[in-house]
A and B are shown apart, each in its own frame.
Chain A
Amino acid sequence: MSLLENLYREIVLDHYRHPRHYGPLEGAERFPGQNPSCGDHLVLYLDRQGDGPLRLAFEAEGCAISQASASLMADLLTGTSADRAAELARAFIATLHGGSVPEELGDLAAFSTLAQLPARIPCALLPWTTLLSALSPDRPAADPAAP
């Protein structure tokens, strides 16, 4: 079985079918993201609790890779600081482009196998780029229609 099939079997399909932190998050801001080339959509719910630990959730329509990536991201980053979250996001993005794979990424480390499948990298990136733009100081105003 190939590395990619292993990734699906061990991690991706589980998170695709049983996503963690799925659904609207009360008191959170809402950040939409999309991949125009494939039509994947995602809504990231982010509550920064002032400058406290982050709360995250998401809703998405798309492939298993993007959904699993979002589910694992929400899992990993819930409870971290905004700065730490941005640091981990940059580390994860680097692994997709062939960079070293830090242990702190947990199950997300296995996504580094996508470096050999460039067509699927945007799928894995979508939740993370949405997060980084949500955390960025010059981000556009969040969608006010938070639940």
Chain B
Amino acid sequence: MAIKRDFPVFSERPGLVYLDSAASSQKPSVVLEALDDFYRRHYANVHRGIYQLSEEATRAYEGARAQVAAFFGAGAADLVFTRNATEAINLVGRTWGDLLEPGDQILVTVMEHHSNLIPWQQLAGRKGASIVWADIDDQGRLDLEGIARLLEAGGVRLVAVTQMSNVLGTVNPISWIAEQAHRAGALLLVDGAQSAAHLPLNLASLGADFFAFSGHKLGGPSGIGGLIARPGLLEEMPPFLGGGEMIREVWLDRATFADPPQRFEAGTPAIAEAVALARAVTYLDTLGIAELWKAERQLTERLLDGLDALGLPCFGPRGEDRAGVASFNLPGIHAHDLASFLDLRGIAVRAGHHCAQPLMRRLGQAATARASLFAYSDAADVDALLSALAEAKAFFA
């Protein structure tokens, strides 16, 4: 309850039970104030002006880069701001990916979000590379032997895997995968769109070569996210989009390019959003990510126990490697009908394929309803959902 007070939407809309944080999180007032303050007092374009205001804006933007990078245990020079995790992954596909050769393999898993799948299909199409994929077991955990086997075959250049499934809630053993990938001479890209808002992270020790995240799932604004690369890796990569900011010197027929991270940030960036994202991560730091994860684990158990007690089929593993995401169905009724029923009671859940159609096919489901948690979620939210589901069960019986 205490944390909810920091998020204005819950006082503006009393009775809202918001259980769709895996899609996007609500915003704490400190983030809204940071946006407002920046636009009121410090706004100008960055990396251009000689004047004081532009100096201030540049300092705030680059300061935000350092704070956000530090939150993930990385250095500022290794963080490229993007619109979101999707753009970060596409950036890798369109730059580092240019170095692939025909016949190279990209290893993905059946639990990937479309954003960590389509860019690789596109890359494979352009370069004559191919996609190989790892399965999950019946609990919704990755088939690690399968991954090891695919890597041993020797053709894999990149492993692209989510750290936390947006459907199953599975937390994947990234350090182990990193070790296997590197031993096989492949790089590892981690889709951190879900995990960044939940897990205590230290990229220096995680072993990922690339880490993609979205700000809007962390309590930050939409339109800002980032790509963090292993130190030195960005240096080797050609530019992404062309334009202002990313150049060193330009002639009519050719150009040289800026050092990273500017090399990958063409055009005026999302300046205020970057500043507000930095405020969001310092807010999460104040709450304590490790504390939040502990609380989320407890609340997840309450939710999963409740779904079990109602006899609803629910996907994903039970245990310490399970985040606060629960995909479930009410037998005999489609997830959209269930979500509408819950909506009438002020309960917001996602329903559909969750941008993970291959996984839905693997689970044999056309759609599921999904409840997901964030820092502000509490027992009252979970209990409201469970009691509405009990009602739904009777209604649709």
- By a beta-carbon cutoff of 8 Å, the part of chain A in contact with chain B is 2, 4-5, 8-9, 13, 37-39, 61-65, 117, 119-120, 123
Contacts and interface: CB of A to CB of B under 8 A. Distances in A.
Interface stretch (B1-9, B37-45, B123-131, B334-342): B334-342
Contacts of A13: 396
A58 B351 CA distance: 24
Contacts of B337: 8, 63-65
A5 B395 contact: yes
Contacts of A119: 340
A89 to B, nearest CB: 22
Contacts of A62: 334, 336, 366
Interface residues of B, number: 18
Interface in B310-350: 333-337, 340-341, 343-344
Contacts of B366: 39, 61-62
B353 A120 contact: no
Nearest to A39: B353
Contacts of B357: 39
Given A61-B366, A62-B334, A117-B343, 9 more contacts: A4-B344, A13-B396, A38-B353, A39-B353, A39-B366, A62-B336, A64-B334, A119-B340, A120-B336
B336 A123 contact: yes
Interface of B: 333-337, 340-341, 343-344, 351-353, 357, 360, 366-367, 395-396
A61 B396 CA distance: 18
B340 A117 contact: yes
A68 B351 CA distance: 19
A38 B336 contact: yes
Contacts of A8: 337, 341, 395-396
B18 to A, nearest CB: 16
Contacts of B352: 37-39
Contacts of A117: 340, 343
A81 B366 CA distance: 35
Contacts of A63: 334-337, 367
Contacts of B340: 4, 117, 119-120
A38 B336 CA distance: 8
Residue from B333, B336, B360 whose CB has the most chain A CB atoms within 10 Å: B336
A39 B358 CA distance: 12
B338 to A, nearest CB: 9
A5 B367 contact: no
A69 to B, nearest CB: 12
18 contacts: A4-B340, A5-B341, A5-B395, A8-B337, A8-B396, A9-B395, A38-B351, A38-B353, A38-B367, A39-B353, A39-B360, A39-B367, A62-B334, A62-B336, A62-B366, A64-B334, A64-B337, A120-B336
A76 B159 CA distance: 54
B118 to A, nearest CB: 14
B344 A2 contact: yes
B238 to A, nearest CB: 34
Contacts of B333: 64
Given A39-B352, A61-B366, A62-B366, A5 B336 contact: no
A68 to B, nearest CB: 10
A124 to B, nearest CB: 11
Nearest to A114: B340
Contacts of B396: 8, 13
Contacts of A65: 336-337
B82 to A, nearest CB: 24
Contact of B344 (A5, A9, A38, A39): A5
A130 to B, nearest CB: 18
A-B CB proximity, top 8 nearest: A63-B334, A63-B336, A64-B337, A39-B353, A38-B352, A63-B337, A2-B344, A61-B366
B35 to A, nearest CB: 28
Residue from B333, B334, B351 whose CB has the most chain A CB atoms within 10 Å: B334
Residue from B337, B341, B343, B353 whose CB has the most chain A CB atoms within 10 Å: B337
A143 B340 CA distance: 34
A112 B208 CA distance: 52
A13 B330 CA distance: 14
Contacts of B353: 38-39
A39 B356 CA distance: 11
